[in-house]
Every structure is written in C-alpha cells, then in structure tokens.
Structure 1
C-alpha cells in the first residue's frame, strides 16, 4: 500500500483521495506500482489547478461573459466533485466558490453598467428627438436639413434600447424628419410657383422696356422706365436659369434709350449754351437802360430787346433764373418809371395827396398845442399820451410829403 497527505492506494489497487467528508474513491490502478498510481492522479489534480488558475485569470483580465464563465466553472466543479484526482480538492472547491462570487458580482456590475448605458442612451435619444422636433418647425431649410442628417448619424451610433422604448422614440424622430421634409417641399413648391409668376411678370416688363427703347419722348419714357424698375423689384426673383437673361434684356433696352437721350441732350446742351451767351448779351444791353431817363425810348428799346430775347430759345435750366432775373429787373424799373410818370401827370391824385398832407399838417400842429397845454397844466401823463400820437401822425405826414414830392412839389 502507498499513500501521501491527500490520497492512498490500498492492496487491491483502489486509489482514494482525502476530503473534508472523508475518503473518496478516485479509481482503480492495476497497471503499475501504487506510487505510479498516486503520481498519475496527482498530475490530474495539477491539471485541475492549472485550469482553475487560467479561468481565474480570464475572469479578472478579460471580457469573458458571465454565462461562459459560469459554464466553465460548472465543468471544473464536475471534475472536482467526481474525485478523479488526488490533491486538496476542498481547496479547489473553495476557489471555484470564490469564482462564482466574483462572476456574480461581475454580472451585477455589468448589469448595472448596461442599465446605466441604456439610461444614457435613452436620454441621448430623447435629446435627439427633442432637437429634431424643434428643427421640424424651422424655416432655415439648409442648416436645419444638414443638422437633421447629422442627428441620424448620431442616432445610429447609439446603443439600442428595449424594443418598445426604441420604437417609440424612433417613431417620434422619424415623424419630425418627415414633417420637416414636407414643410420644406411645400415651401420650395410655393417658391417655384412664385418664381414662375415672377418670370411671367418680368417677361412682360422686358417686352415693354424693349418696345420703349426707340422712343424719343424723353421725359415720359424716362419716367415710365423708373416705374418699370419699381415693378421689376416688386415682382421678385424668377428661376435662376431665366433671371440673368431677363435682367440683361431689361437693362439693355434701357441702355439703348438712355444712350440716345444722352446724345440728344448733349446736342441740346450745346445749343442752349450758345443761347445763354446771346441772352446774357441781351440782358447786358437791357441793363444799360437803367436808370430810366427817357421813358418812351427806354420802353421801345426794351420791347425790341424782348422780341429778340423770345426768338433766342431755351437756355440751360440751372442758368435760367439768373439771366431771366436780370431782364425782369430792367422791366420792373421801366414799370416803376411809368407809375411815377403817371402819378406826376395825374391832377386828381396830386390834389388828393396835397389834401391829405394838409390835413396831417393841421393835425400835427393841433397835437403840438395840446401837448404844450397839458405840460403847462402839469398833466404829464396826458402830454406823454399825446406825444405818442404825435409821433404816429408825424410819420404819416413824412410819407405824404414824400408822395407829394413825386408829383413834382
């Protein structure tokens, strides 16, 4: 018989292992000595030790799933429980128990981590849905569309939730994208319709602009072109493929008209410049008639100058007030001379002027005596009042005397 601390072989070749529960039969050995039998089953034990050590390392250092770890533990436990090895099997059982505890703990940690990741994924997807629903109401078609496409990519990178929650959030997310797409499609359809209307309106404006390009009604046509430009701006933009061509035609028609008008105005300006020189010469000749000495000859000379003036024609608009003002000044001087002559030759007017002058002289003399009497009586207030009245009458008298002088004395 042979034995060691963990097993023995009896005289029949039966191999035993010692456990906390007592000896357990390991097997029967008939092929050699008892020492060889113990050595054989001790090697099997060492094999179990290595396998358990490897499993412990895998559980601690790799992503071995709890399910796979549990399967491996159960396989090793079966081998330990079947007592086909000689060694400290109880110690191996305790190591396997410890591994079960570690795997269970790891399972709970992973479950908690998975739950946490699921909560984070759900929160992230809810945030994406909220942003998508907000973007669904946006009118920033390009930036909102690009952002929605980026949200889809982000969604794809997030973990899936439980089917019900994931489907509900995806439905909201998809609905928001569809709502935005429908609004954008409707917007651009409406925009296309508006641009088609703008194209038709601008084609009419172009046709009218081209029909006016040969007009010589400079003022009226220029005004109509301004109105056409206002209508053009109000019409909005046509489709891109039509807009530039329509504008070039519209602008080209105006350029033809305004170029022709510019040439005509340049010729007219040259002519009016010559007219201005002639009228300035006539104005200078008319100004020599002032002051009027011989009314009859001055009147005749001015009439002749005015006839020549009318025959000259237009002058530049900005120069017109000044040169016409010179002639008007001469005309007023002649009219004033005529009025003065009429007053001098009108006996009735002279008599009325003389009578008014006499009345005012009498009133002035009377007020002077009343003032002296008031001063003598010590009534200064009355004297002052009368003095103010005297000032007014004296002023009227001075004007009357001046008018009388115009009648020749």
Structure 2
C-alpha cells in the first residue's frame, strides 16, 4: 500500500483522496505500482490547479462575460466534485468559490457600468433631440442642415436604449428632421417662384432698355434708365443661370445709350466752348462802350452786339452766369443813361421839380426870418426849435436843387 498526505492506494489498487468528509474513492489502478497510481491522480490534481489558475487570470484580465465564466467555473467544479484527483480538493473549492464572488462582483460592476452608459446615452440622445427640435425652426438652411446631418452621425454612434425609450426619442428626432426638411423645401419652392417672377420682370426691363439704347432724346431717356435701374433692384434676383445673362444685356443696352450720349455731349461741349470764346469777345466789345458818353451811339452799338450774341448759341452752363453778367452790366448802364436822359428832358417833371424847389426855398426863407425875430425878442428856446426845423427843410431843399440840376436848371 502507498500513500501521501492527500490520498492512498490499498491492496486492491483502489485510490482514495482524503477530504473533510472522509476518504473518497478516486479510481482504480491496475496498470502499475501504487506510487505510479498516486502520481497519475496527483498530476490530474495539478491539471485542475492550472485550469483554475488560467480561469482566474482570464476573469481578472479579459472581458470574459459573467455567463461564460460561470460555465467554466461549473465545469471545473464538476471535475473537483467527481474526486478524480488526489490533492487538496477543498482548496480548489475555496478558489472556485472566491472566483464566483469575483465574477459576481464583475457582473455587478458591469451592470452598474451599463446602467451608467445607458443613462449617459439617454442624456446624450435627449440633448440631440432638443437641439434637433430647435434647429427645425431655423432659417439658416445650409448650416442647420449640415448640423442635423452631423447629429444623425452622432446618434448612430450612441448605444441603444430600451426599445420603448429609444423609439420615442428617435420618433421626436426624426420628426424634427422631417419638419426642417419640409420647411426648407417650402422655402426654396417659394424662392424659385419669386426668382421666376423676377426673371419675367427683368426680361421686360431688358426689352425696354434695349429699345431705348438708340434714343437721342438724351434727358428723358437717361431719366427712364434711372427708373429702370430702380425697378431692376426692386425685382429681386432671378435664377442664377439667368441672372448674369439678363444683367449683361441690361447693362449693355445702357452702355450703348450712354456712350452715344457721351459722344454727343462731347461734340456739344466743344461747340459750346467755341461759343463761349465768341461771346467773351462780344462782352469785351460791349464793355468798351462804358462809360456811356454818347447814348444814341452806345444804344445802336449794343443792339448790334446783342444780335450777334443771340445768333451764337449756348455756352457751357457753368460759364453762362459770368459771361451773361458782363453783358447785363453794360445793358443796365445804357438803361440808366436812358432814364437820366428822360428825366433831364421831361418838361412836366422839370416843372414839378422847379415848383417844389420854389416852395422849399420859400419855407427856408420864412424860417430864417422867424429865427431872427425870436432872437431879437430874446426867445432862445423858440429860436433853437426853429433852427432844428430849418435844418430839415434845408436838407430837402438841397436835394430838390440837385434834382433840378439834372434837368439842366
């Protein structure tokens, strides 16, 4: 008979293992010596030790699921409980029990982790839904559309929730996207309609602009082009494929008209510059009549100058006031000379002036006599009052005498 601390082999070749509950039969060995029998079943025990050690390592260092770990533990436990090995089987049971606790702890950790991930995923999806619902009301079609597409990609990268919660959130998310797409589609449909209206309106403006391009009615046509430009801006933009072509035609028609007007104005300016030179020469000729010494000759000469002036035509607008002012100065001098001559030769006016002068002279003489009398009487205050009155009458008399001299008297 052979034995070790954990087992023995009896005379019949039966192998036993010692446990807390007493000896348990491990098996029968007939192929060799008792020591070989014990060595064989001890190796089986060492094999179980190695397998349990490997399982412990897998549980600690890999993502082995709790279910798979439990299956492996149960399998090893069946082998330990079968008593087909010689060794400290209770130690193996204890290790398996600890491994069960470890697996359960890992199970709880993973359950808590999944719950946390689920809560985070729910919060993340709720945030996506809220943002999508806000974007659904946006009119920033390009940026909002790009952001919604990015939100979809973010959604796809998040874990699924329970079916009910996930479906409810997805329904809201999808509804927000659909609402935005519907509004954007309606907006661009309306925009297309507006652009079509703008195209039709601008085609009419182009047609009118092209019809006016050959006009030589410079002022009214230029004014109408300005009105057409205002109408063009108010019409809005047409479709991109039409806008540039319509604008090029519209602008081209204006360019034709304004180029022709510019050429005509250049010719007109050259002619008016020459007219100005001629009128300046006439103004010099008219100014030589000043001062007026021979009214009849001056009047005749100025009439001749004025006739030639009227025959010349327009001058540049900015030069007109100065050159015409020079002629007006000579014209006014002749008119003033005519008025002076008329006053000098008018008998009735001369008679009235002489009569007024006589009346004033009489009043002055009378006041002087009264002043002398007052002084003789010693009435100084009366004399001073009469002297002040005399000063006024004398001034009127001096003025009347001056007027009378204009009549040659």
What is the CA-CA distance between 1:376 and the residue it aligns to? Answer: 6.3
Larger displacement relative to structure 2 (87-96 or 317-326): 317-326
Q: Report what 1:295 is aligned to.
A: 295
Q: Is the 8 A contact 2:363 2:393 kept in 1?
A: no
Q: Is the 8 A contact 1:361 1:397 kept in 2?
A: no
**CA–CA distance in structure 1, aligned partners of residues 207 and 118 of structure 2:** 68
**CA–CA distance in structure 2, aligned partners of residues 156 and 194 of structure 1:** 39
Larger displacement relative to structure 2 (272-281 or 90-99): 272-281
Instruction: Give the unaligned 5+ runs of structure 1.
Output: none
Q: Report what 1:144 is aligned to.
A: 144
What is the CA-CA distance between 1:197 and the residue it aligns to? Answer: 0.7
**CA–CA distance in structure 2, aligned partners of residues 138 and 235 of structure 1:** 26
Q: Report what 1:237 is aligned to.
A: 237
1:180 and 2:180 aligned? yes
1:342 and 2:361 aligned? no
Assess, with a 3 A threshold, how the Cα gap between structure 1 residues 270 and 68 changes in structure 2: closer, same or farther: same
State the superposition RMSD in angstroms: 3.0
**CA–CA distance in structure 1, aligned partners of residues 12 and 110 of structure 2:** 53
Q: Report what 2:198 is aligned to.
A: 198
**CA–CA distance in structure 2, aligned partners of residues 320 and 156 of structure 1:** 82
1:103 and 2:99 aligned? no
Q: Is the 8 A contact 1:27 1:84 kept in 2?
A: yes
What is the CA-CA distance between 1:398 and the residue it aligns to? Answer: 7.2
- Correspondences of 1:218-367 after superposition (within 5 Å): 218-350=218-350
Q: Is the 8 A contact 2:198 2:236 kept in 1?
A: yes
SS of the residue corresponding to residue 18 of structure 2 reads: strand
> In the TM superposition, what whole-angstrom CA distance separates every residue of 1:186-208 from its partner, at most 9, and x where no partner exists?
11111111111111111111111
SS of the residue corresponding to residue 185 of structure 1 reads: helix
Q: Is the 8 A contact 1:7 1:18 kept in 2?
A: yes
Q: Report what 1:36 is aligned to.
A: 36
**CA–CA distance in structure 2, aligned partners of residues 395 and 10 of structure 1:** 177
Q: Report what 2:89 is aligned to.
A: 89
What is the CA-CA distance between 1:64 and the residue it aligns to? Answer: 0.7
**CA–CA distance in structure 2, aligned partners of residues 151 and 392 of structure 1:** 105
**CA–CA distance in structure 2, aligned partners of residues 312 and 376 of structure 1:** 74
Q: Is the 8 A contact 1:360 1:396 kept in 2?
A: no
**CA–CA distance in structure 1, aligned partners of residues 142 and 23 of structure 2:** 82
Assess, with a 3 A threshold, how the Cα gap between structure 1 residues 41 and 229 changes in structure 2: closer, same or farther: same
Equivalenced residue count is 399
> In the TM superposition, what whole-angstrom CA distance separates every residue of 1:179-227 from its partner, at most 9, and x where no partner exists?
1111111111111111111111111111111111111111111111111
What is the CA-CA distance between 1:342 and the residue it aligns to? Answer: 2.4
SS of the residue corresponding to residue 86 of structure 2 reads: coil
SS of the residue corresponding to residue 3 of structure 1 reads: strand
> In the TM superposition, what whole-angstrom CA distance separates every residue of 1:350-401 from its partner, at most 9, and x where no partner exists?
55556767659969x97997xx99x967xxxx99xx98x9999998777666
> What is the TM-score when the length of structure 2 is the normalising length?
0.88
**CA–CA distance in structure 1, aligned partners of residues 390 and 16 of structure 2:** 163
Q: Is the 8 A contact 1:16 1:26 kept in 2?
A: yes
Q: Report what 2:210 is aligned to.
A: 210
1:52 and 2:52 aligned? yes
SS of the residue corresponding to residue 143 of structure 2 reads: helix
**CA–CA distance in structure 2, aligned partners of residues 20 and 349 of structure 1:** 168
Assess, with a 3 A threshold, how the Cα gap between structure 1 residues 366 and 48 changes in structure 2: closer, same or farther: farther
What is the CA-CA distance between 1:28 and the residue it aligns to? Answer: 2.4
**CA–CA distance in structure 2, aligned partners of residues 67 and 323 of structure 1:** 114
**CA–CA distance in structure 2, aligned partners of residues 120 and 260 of structure 1:** 75
**CA–CA distance in structure 2, aligned partners of residues 78 and 391 of structure 1:** 156
What is the CA-CA distance between 1:13 and the residue it aligns to? Answer: 2.5
Q: Is the 8 A contact 1:213 1:254 kept in 2?
A: yes
- Correspondences of 1:103-142 after superposition (within 5 Å): 103-142=103-142
Assess, with a 3 A threshold, how the Cα gap between structure 1 residues 99 and 345 changes in structure 2: closer, same or farther: same
